[in-house]
Structure 1
Amino acid sequence: MSKTTESMEPLIRMLDMADSLPAAVTLRARSYDLLDLPGGATVVDVGCGAGRAVDELNEQGVQAIGVDPSEEMISVARRRRPDADFRLGDAHHVPLADGEVAGYRADKVFHELADPGKALEEARRVLAPGGRIVLIGQDWDAFLIDSDDPRLTRTIVHARADQVTNPRAARRYRNLLLDAGFEHVALEIHTGVFTDATMLPLLTGIAESARAARAITAEEEAGWADEQRRRAEAGRMFLALPIFVASAVRPGD
């Protein structure tokens, strides 16, 4: 293992933990159902990370291709799943031929893109006529957090969202797909609710980000994070994350 890959191990462990949560497992399964692919069909998972979805799709009898912009992530995916097909690329430059796949899946990707419309043009290019696309993502400006200080909480959530390239991309999925010429566009909202310490690092992390952006003071960060820790220890933490799942069909030529 390279030193660079070793340095990513904490991130990979965090992603593995998040992917193992029951809500995440259910959401991935729903995305596979929405792809609705016959056995032997080819699907690309853009932003595949360490390759869990690629592995699960292959187990369902389709031919999955994982694409990710991180050489380190691709290295981890290939090491974990040496028989799977992983390629270096990104949502704007998918290493596939025109019309090569019957399905396109992107999970927690579009909020990182400055130009989601361009990415959907690329998705339409690699999809065969009648191919299906599924997008999954959270709205970074719609975290619902219980706190004794709602004003400060709003400031923290908005400050963290402002550091994301496209924080509200998920709420735009439907219109983005329509603008790109996709048909049969449908949208679902699944809400993850967390009331224990599982997501405490996420909450303290967004407070830290807000302080780093000078949206709040160090004292406000410390006080808010301490409150969330106390809530977690007492089983009174509340975090709700709306997750948007959009599906559509590439029209025939």
Structure 2
Amino acid sequence: MAKETERTRQSTGGLVTLLDAADRLPGANELRVRSYDLLDVGPGALAVDVGCGAGRAVAELAERGVRAIGVDLSERMIDIARGRWPEADFRIAGAYGLPLPDASVDGYRADKVFHELDEPERALSEACRILAPGGRIVLVGQDWDTLVIDSADPALTRTIVHARADLTAGPRAARQYRNLLLDVGFDDVTVEVHTGVFTGPEMLPLFTGVAEGACSAGAITREQTDSWIAEQRTRAEADRLFLALPMFMAAATAPR
């Protein structure tokens, strides 16, 4: 049990490092701000950030005067969030069972969460339950099948991207946001796409992770993995790295 706890701690620490790095990427702050604007909740309103991670969005919403609650299924992640933002309200919970009464919140936000869910419809039904009539929901995430990576071997790159996507519970959840929201009964559904273009070496860990994931799935060989990663590293050193990453942002209104 102690070994498993240590493994979990290390895994969570690695995830926090990745989340912090993602928050520092060009355009990340603007993307979060846009999600808050679409949430459209003013000072004194109550909003929940589902899958809050280390809690940055909860803190930033609080700076706008919003009474923000952060929930995450990871107890360790909630501990980190509480350590960083001790005045904020963080609770251990998953997207399928939120610790909030019916029709009690004005806003619901989930950033990079729905691709991890086996039952997105169930999560949206729960969102509908806790949202007051006319409340707002915002979903943010990437479609794992639409990573655009430049490479000397496009066929291998396609294999890598799709194989890594298939390791995710809902790799195409982001392209489904609109229909999922409509199916559950939300109104005024809108979808935006914000594409980030990245050419710096800070993206190498993502490239490595994508390739290693494809290798672990048996989609490519160890030799292909090492060769592809080496090419991307060489591109980074020569200022020739290229990644285009579309981020989908859907917003809607709870039924009145």
Scaled by the length of structure 1, the TM-score of the pair is 0.97
d(CA) in 2 for partners of 1:89 and 1:7? 19
Q: Give the deviation of 1:205 after TM superposition.
A: 1.1
* CA contact 1:46–1:104 (8 Å) conserved in 2: yes
1:21 maps to 2:37: no
Q: Where do 1:120-131 residues align within 5 Å?
A: 120-131=124-135
Q: Give the deviation of 1:21 after TM superposition.
A: 1.9
State the AA in 2 paired with 1:103. G
In structure 2, the partner of 1:111 is: 115
Structure 1 gaps, min length 5: none
State the AA in 2 paired with 1:206. V
Structure 2 gaps, min length 5: none
Root mean square deviation, CA, Å: 1.2
State the AA in 1 paired with 2:113. V
Aligned residue for 1:117, secondary structure, equals: helix
Q: How many residues align?
A: 251
In structure 2, the partner of 1:77 is: 81
* CA contact 2:42–2:64 (8 Å) conserved in 1: no
Q: Where do 1:19-58 residues align within 5 Å?
A: 19-58=23-62
Residue 205 of structure 2: which of 201, 205, 218 is its match? 201
1:141 maps to 2:142: no
In structure 1, the partner of 2:173 is: 169
d(CA) in 1 for partners of 2:67 and 2:24? 23
Aligned residue for 1:38, secondary structure, equals: coil
In structure 2, the partner of 1:93 is: 97
d(CA) in 2 for partners of 1:151 and 1:9? 34
State the AA in 2 paired with 1:235. D
Q: Deviations over 1:74-107 (max 9, x none)?
A: 0101111111000010111111000110000000
Deviates more, 1:7-16 or 1:61-70: 7-16
Q: Give the deviation of 1:12 after TM superposition.
A: 1.4
Percent of counterpart pairs with the same letter? 64
* CA contact 1:28–1:53 (8 Å) conserved in 2: yes
In structure 1, the partner of 2:237 is: 233
Aligned residue for 2:71, secondary structure, equals: strand
1:218 maps to 2:226: no
Residue 189 of structure 1: which of 193, 196, 203 is its match? 193
d(CA) in 1 for partners of 2:185 and 2:74? 29
Aligned residue for 2:255, secondary structure, equals: coil
Aligned residue for 2:220, secondary structure, equals: coil
Scaled by the length of structure 2, the TM-score of the pair is 0.96
* CA contact 1:203–1:225 (8 Å) conserved in 2: yes
State the AA in 2 paired with 1:148. A
